[in-house]
Structure 1
């Protein structure tokens, strides 16, 4: 079966998606506290993470490592409203980026975003190591969800 990465259109399509989403996040008043200014490598890092999650190259793990993801979320104290706005803007960006609209693909993306925003929110509010979500590697998402 084709990976989500290949079905989405590979790096080019995912980079387009992440750039559109990131521009929306930077301009959004609810997300502005989480994205106060454009970071030069943020779109690249988001693309690497999504690509690896969807069955593409493992650049995120090799170049940054999952600990990087934990560190950048710690202390952000993501609210429920921010978590939902992130998900809404991300899903909105799918159409603008021209990603496939078939229901199985969109369901897999929705589940991935729901899971990822939950992990990010939990890690953002963690006061101790024990409070962190137990996930310690990039999840490998398939048509049936997280296979880790």
Structure 2
């Protein structure tokens, strides 16, 4: 069976989706309090993470590492409304890119973003390392969810 990365169309397609998502997040009334400024490498970082999660190259781990991901979310105090809106806009962007014709792929992406946003939310409220989510590596997502 092909990986989610291959099914999505690889780096080029994922980069285009992440760029569209990022534009929406910067302008969204709920998300713009988290995405407060345009960062030149943000789309690349989002793409690397999603690609690696979906079974593609391990660029996120090799170039940034999971500690980086923890650090950028820490202190953000992500609310339930922001987490839910993130998921909604992310899925909407995949839909608009024409990637949700396959119900199984749609379900896999939904479970991926639901899980990831919950981890980010937990880490955003952590005042100590013990309060962080225990995951310390980019999760490998499959058609059935996390490996």
> What's the TM-score once normalised by structure 2's chain length?
0.98
Deviating above 3 A after TM superposition, structure 1's stretches of 4 or more consecutive aligned residues are: none
Partner Cα separation in structure 1 for residue 2 and residue 10 of structure 2 = 11
Equivalent pair of 1:53/1:138 in contact (CA under 8 Å): yes
Structure 2 gaps, min length 5:
none
For the residue of structure 2 that corresponds to 1:37, the secondary structure is: coil
3-state DSSP of counterpart to 2:76? coil
Alignment RMSD: 0.7
Q: Distance in 2 between matches of 1:59 and 1:115?
A: 21
Normalising to structure 1: TM-score of the pair? 0.98
Q: How many residues align?
A: 147
Deviation at 1:53, TM superposition (A): 0.1
Report the counterpart of residue 23 of structure 1 in structure 2. Answer: 23
Q: Is the contact made by 1:9 and 1:99 (CA closer than 8 Å) also made in structure 2?
A: no
CA apart distance, 1:7: 0.2
Deviations 1:7-60 (A, max 9, x none): 000001100110010000000111111101110000000000000000000000
Partners of 2:6 and 2:60 in 1: CA distance? 17
Please list every run of 5 or more consecutive structure 1 residues that lacks an aligned counterpart in the other structure. Answer: none
Q: Which residue of 2 aligns with 1:72?
A: 72
CA deviation vs aligned residue, 1:54-101 (integer Å, no higher than 9, x gap): 000000000000000000000000000000000000000012223242
